[in-house]
Amino acid sequence: MDKLIIDGGNPLRGSVQISGAKNAALPILVATLLAPGEHELHNVPELVDVSFMLSLLGRIGCPSLVGDGKGPECVRLDTSRVAFSEAPYDVVRKMRASVLVLGPLLARCGRAQVSMPGGCAIGTRPIDQHLKGLEALGCTFELDGGYIRGKVDQLVGAEINLDMPTVTGTENILMAAVLAEGESVIRNAAAEPEIVDLVRFLRSMGARIRGEGTSTLEIDGVPALRPARRPYSILADRIEAGTYLLGAAITGGDVMAKGAPAEEMSAVLEALEATGCEVEVTDEGVRVSRSGPLRPVSIETTPHPGFPTDMQAQWMALMTQADGTSEVLETIFENRFMHAAELIRMGAKIQIAGNQAMVEGGDLKGATVMATDLRASASLVLAGLVAEGRTEMLRLYHLDRGYSHLVDKLKTLGAEVARVPDDVRVTTGKAPAATAAV
């Protein structure tokens, strides 16, 4: 196991290239199951979660090739043959998004056996809405021994009213509905940009879908899909972009996030402007800089286009440096304030009451901290960049799930950061040379 060593105090300055969005890449990789044949995807981020998904698809019988002379962010998949319609526990337990194979396998094979999902410990995140929608399309399910076993003779279009706008639930139902007989309508659907990207990919394979980016999706089922005629490029990651831009804000630096999808980041960019940061949107990407004091700004997480829950932890870290007190209200997931305890270890003044956190600005000092989930780990990195002294962060496998080449990108921006084995003890001087990139 590795740890991250950060020597704080250096403002981040420069440009960083934003990778493809993990939350778009995973459902798009799974969606290739719907169209037998060879698929080529570009801008696929180099992440552990992507590797897990490719491994799962390989276990199902769909081999993949990464790179192939076109760079590591190019993936070629052959979904001509599905040998097994099962997603086993040893793969699914590592990544909750594995449950996304349920809808496509039912559509392709008429049956599926998927282990109950795992992933970050940030709440129960039940899949009842997935099953509700798929049952409306004609599927039947039984839960046995930790597995969801589903079958269907013929998917039939239906009107589905979700109880809440679940992202993965919307994606799972959508991927099944494109091959259902007749018309389907998904109401109270999630409208995140990653779903819009999935719709565009499905449409490139021949699906008929309307309403992406709204709460109502209309799908005219088709008998079959075929691979897209040209390579499909994954949407840039708005959460990765937001994290680096908050890095500029928290350190008093100046960062250009090249390729950042500004239109999909409006809530975060507006909040940054309210803190006193300068925000500039150009054809190249989004640039954020700060030279004066940081004003406190309260946020509430809500479904897109509101402030994203995946930026809440990073925002809390930023507010530890504000000149005053701010409120962070988490309305999407329970148990998503676990990073607060680690920030408090670094000297943050945070009070938690249910889903509300009150953050009072002040100085941070380096400490040994432990990541509890993906976005919590990003918040600790931001805190370490501005803290006095050295921060050592453990459990880096969370970062590996969502931030491609983090160490290299931070070093390019001037950060003193390195990844080293857990048993390496560094007592003085600058952070040592990294032994591996995140």
Residue 434 amino acid letter:
A
Helix axes 102-109, 128-136, angle to 10 degrees: 20
CA atoms within 13 A on the CB side of 136: 21
Helix axes 312-319, 238-251, angle to 10 degrees: 0
120 is catalytic: yes
Residues 303/139/22/399 CA torsion (nearest 10 deg): 90
97 torsion bin: left (phi>0), alpha (psi -120 to 50), beta (else): alpha
- The stretches of 158-279 forming alpha helices (DSSP H) are 167-177, 193-204, 238-251, 266-274
Residues 370 and 177: their CA atoms lie apart, in Å, by 41
DSSP secondary structure letter of residue 218: E
Q: What is the DSSP string of 88-127?
A: -HHHHTT-GGGGGGHHHHHHHHSEEEEEPP---SS-----
* CB-CB contact of 58 with 104 (8 Å): no
* CB-CB contact of 234 with 197 (8 Å): yes
Instruction: Name the nearest CA neighbour of 245 among 265, 220, 229.
Output: 265
Residues 309 and 337: their CA atoms lie apart, in Å, by 11
Instruction: Point out the catalytic residue in the list 62, 74, 109, 120.
Output: 120
- Whether cis (ω within 30° of 0) applies to the bond prior to 305 is yes
Q: Which runs of E-coded beta strand occur in 259-402?
A: 278-281, 285-289, 299-300, 325-329, 349-353, 356-360, 368-370, 390-394
- The stretches of 18-166 forming alpha helices (DSSP H) are 22-31, 48-60, 89-92, 102-109, 128-136
List, by residue number, the catalytic residues.
Answer: 120
